[in-house]
Amino acid sequence: MQERRFTGEINPSMTGEKATLKGWVHEIRDLGGIMFLILRDREGFAQITFPKKKIDPDLLEVAKRISRESVITVKGTIQEDKRAPNGYEIIPEGITVLNPANSPLPLDTTGKVGAELDTRLDSRFMDIRRPEVLAIFRIRDKVLTTTRNFLNEHGFIEINTPKIVATATEGGTALFPITYFNREAFLSQSPQLFKQIMMGAGLDRVWEIAPIFRAEEHDTTRHLNEATSIDIEASFVDYEDVMVLLEDLIATLYTSVKEGCEKSLSDLGIDIEVPKTPFKRITYTEAIDHLNGMDDPEISEIVWGDDLSAACEHELGRLIGEHYFIIDWPTGSKPYYTRPSRNPEISLSFDLMHPRMELASGSQRIHEVDLLTSRIDAMGLNPDSFEFYLRAFRFGMPPHAGWGLGLERVLMTMLALENIREVVLFPRDMKRVSP
């Protein structure tokens, strides 16, 4: 008997060969003279066929008693059958129940009975058994692997920065405090300060893919309290250089999913289009000029310096219709580490936008310690608590730029999913910390 095979490794040309399959009982269909057991594994389905007159009656009795979603081993002979999934069936010679599943099931894995997202997330282990949900996580894996390869090929070094920190990095966004022995610490909002310190350390180009924790009280379909950020920082470059890197990465991710995840895209019932580079760049000032000319009650008069609301993002997305950058934001609307341009009111900064939402933000950074200290001060923060960061700027800090890209937002927009929670195994939001 052969070693275990995945359902996707077998094809009709193997007719007559023996095979061992392991997986879950997806469905049992008893049609009287014939019974079908559909076995499911990570790669798909296999039809196990029991022609009742020809099969050992004891084997048939075992099969009839197996509950749905039990874990089984099936040994049998491969036979071509055009009507079956992948064009083959297995005529069983032995079935072992490795672990029976309880009934009733918390969710229906066949997709015949729909369930709310909350119910699905409560039983995520069973939800992910559905091929269209598993497909999302196979694509997530592809996006992560492609990102790592892309950044390695571009000379970036992977770093791991602490997730328990003493200071805020992003100013505006709220922090999760934790008890750290006898003092207060926080969960990290961003690797920002540490990736910049690594520019002072001479690593030149670094990347990190890691969780970021945001205590935002946003109960929306595009915010998480624990998200995954793809962060880069590079020395001796300007913000245009890192925008080019970012648009190249986005196009590379779409290409690798389109070409390398055909089955997953088909399980999701979608096709994706690779965005064309270079992406359009519009300045913040052009964006608000356009928005202020709109006759839309959701978009009231925007004052220069305001952040752009979701309604504004939607309007710009509708107008442009593809990925684009909003560049040169008001200095006051960006974090203290963002470099002002020659006009101190305007910063060398950008947001990467999908027509539906923001995907990334980044900028040229301030590398002069005096300017940085005064910006921290001007934002109402205490420079003393940033001393560990500022020190790195006193002893040879090169000019540098970088960005942070939200992995979940890339995935939800690429796959046209409504809710960001769909692309996270165990999402953390205002209402959910378990499972």
| Total of residues contacting ligand AMO (CB under 6 A) | 22
Lay out the site mask for ligand AMO across 158-177 (x = CB under 6 A, - = otherwise): ------------x-------
- Calculated CA dihedral for residues 184, 194, 309, 221, nearest 10 degrees: -70
Least Cα distance to 210 among 225, 186, 188 occurs for 188
Specify the length of the chain in residues.
435
Binding of residue 402 to ligand AMO (CB under 6 A): yes
Task: Rule CB under 6 A: say whether 367 interacts with ligand AMO.
Answer: no
Helix (H) or strand (E) holding 285: helix 284-292
What's the 3-state SS for 99-120? ECCCCCCCCCCCCCCCCCHHHH
Torsional sign, CA 373, 379, 385, 386: negative
CA–CA separation, 178 vs 162, rounded Å? 14
In terms of DSSP bridges, do strands 280-283 and 177-180 run parallel, antiparallel, or are they unpaired? unpaired
Q: Residue 170 Cβ, how far from ligand AMO at the closest point, in Å?
A: 5
Nearest Cα neighbor of 143 from 408, 376, 336 is: 408
Task: Exactly one of 40, 129, 138, 222 is catalytic; name it.
Answer: 222
What would the x/- binding string for ligand AMO be over residues 217 to 246, using CB under 6 A?
Answer: ------xx--x-x-x---------------
Nearer to ligand AMO, 126 or 187 (CB): 187
Q: Please, which residue, 5 or 223, has the CB nearer to ligand AMO? A: 223
What's the start-to-end Cα distance of the chain, in Å?
40
**Strand pairing partners for 37?**
28, 48
Nearer to ligand AMO, 46 or 390 (CB): 390
353 binds ligand AMO (CB under 6 A): no
Tell the smallest beta-carbon distance from residue 429 to ligand AMO (Å): 9
Residue 25 or 232 having the CB closest to ligand AMO = 232
Contact 43, 7 (CB under 8 A): yes
Contacts (CB under 6 A) with ligand AMO, residues 107-126: none
199 is a site residue for ligand AMO (CB under 6 A):
no
Q: Is 226 left (phi over 0), alpha (psi -120 to 50) or beta?
A: beta
**Catalytic (active site) residue 216:** yes
Selecting among 333, 358, 374, 432, the annotated active-site residue is 358
For 92, counting Cβ atoms within 10 Å of its Cβ (0-12 exposed, 13-18 middle, 19+ buried), the class is: buried
The CA–CA distances, whole Å, from 328 to 119, 286, 332 equal 43, 10, 11
When CB distances to ligand AMO are compared, the closest residue is 406
Residue whose CB is less far from ligand AMO, 94 or 332: 332
H or E element: which one contains 91? strand 88-99
Residue closer to ligand AMO (CB basis): 17 or 158 = 158
Q: Minimum Å distance from CB 140 to ligand AMO?
A: 14
From the candidates 80, 93, 216, 286, give the one annotated as an active-site residue: 216
Find how far residue 110's CA is from the centre of its chain.
25
409 catalytic residue (yes or no): yes
- Shortest Cβ 243–ligand AMO spacing (Å): 12
Q: Is 408 in the site for ligand AMO (CB under 6 A)?
A: yes
- 404 near ligand AMO, rule: CB under 6 A: yes
Contact segment (CB under 6 A) with ligand AMO among 143-151, 308-316, 391-399, 401-409 equals 401-409
At residue 236, what is the residue type?
F
Nearest of 182, 14, 183 to residue 88 by alpha carbon: 14
Catalytic residue check, 361: yes
Where b means 16+ CB within 10 Å and e means fewer, 117-131 reads eeebbbebebbebbb
Q: Which of 115, 204, 358, 373 binds ligand AMO (CB under 6 A)?
A: 358
Which tokens belong to 139? Answer: 């694509």
Assess whether 223 carries a catalytic annotation. Answer: yes
Q: Does 329 bind ligand AMO (CB under 6 A)?
A: no
On whether the CB atoms of residues 95 and 72 are closer than 8 A, the answer is yes
Which stretch in 13-21, 250-258, 318-326, 358-366 sits in contact with ligand AMO by CB under 6 A? 358-366
Candidates 336, 351, 366; CA nearest to 405 is 351
Q: What is the dihedral of CA 63, 67, 72, 78, to 10 degrees?
A: 50
Which of residues 50, 88, 239, 403 is near ligand AMO by CB under 6 A?
403
**Contacting residue, 7, 47, 146, 190, with ligand AMO by CB under 6 A:** 190
> Which listed range, 97-105, 133-141, 316-324, 399-407, lies at the site for ligand AMO (CB under 6 A)?
399-407
| 222 has catalytic annotation | yes
* 46 versus 412: smaller Cβ distance to ligand AMO: 412
Q: Is residue 397 a contact point for ligand AMO (CB under 6 A)?
A: no
192 makes contact with ligand AMO (CB under 6 A): yes
Q: Which residues bind ligand AMO (CB under 6 A)?
A: 170, 190, 192, 214, 216, 223-224, 227, 229, 231, 358-363, 402-404, 406, 408-409
